Amino acid sequence: MIKSFLIFILLILVSCGESKPPPNPEVFEIKNIGELATSEYTVGKIVKLDDSDAAWYKPGDRKILINCKAKIKAGIDLNQIKNSDIIINGRTIEIIIPAAKVISFTMDSKYSYTAMESVSGLRDSFTQEEKNDFLRQGEKAIKKELKNTKILDEATKNAEMFIENFYKRMGYEEVIVNKTIPE
């Protein structure tokens, strides 16, 4: 009787086992691009979470501080320059460049670390899934705050300087760089 009961319990457990097979990755993508990155910002942010105001029936609290870093590059898309955007008149060249944009954003886990983690009472420790979610929120906040920096202005200025220097080294005496006004 006991044996059958134990076998029954084991069978239930086996039937409930959740073992997800690893997913198949998507097919890769190769794209031809032509981006000139001219300004690189390294920014930092402290991702802070204090869960002490959680529901009254959850004894204890959870606190975490994660230090993260992101590297952002901004510049112009050279592929957007059409042949008609380059006008040569003797020793003078005039070029219209597109508006600057953020070209790349990376927030490598190599530069992110948990600075403080505190869990008390009956609360659960932070899982990696939760930490990744906090970092996602941090990433979103950084992307939002980037608009308040001068990264795009600096990228445009540096792109103008690079293009001017490039054509001057080709022998042009005057290089006129016109910027496209961002939408």
Scanning residues 147 to 176, which ones bind other proteins (CB under 8 A)? 149, 154, 158, 162, 165-166, 169-171
Contact 93, 87 (CB under 8 A): yes
Cα–Cα distance measured from residue 46 to residue 67, given in angstroms and rounded to the nearest whole number: 5
Does residue 47 belong to the site contacting other proteins (CB under 8 A)?
Answer: yes
Beta strands 92-97; 174-179: pairing state: parallel
Q: Can you give the C-alpha Rg of the chain in angstroms?
A: 27
Q: Quote the least distance from Cβ 28 to other proteins, whole Å.
A: 4
Does residue 100 belong to the site contacting other proteins (CB under 8 A)?
Answer: no
Which member of 7, 48, 116, 178 binds other proteins (CB under 8 A)? Answer: 48
Residues 103-142 close enough to bind other proteins by CB under 8 A: 103-110, 113-114, 122-125, 127-142
Q: Shortest CA distance to 101 belongs to which of 82, 85, 78?
A: 78
φ/ψ (deg, to 5) at 121: 65, -140
Cβ-based nearer residue to other proteins, 35 or 179: 35
Does residue 62 belong to the site contacting other proteins (CB under 8 A)?
Answer: yes
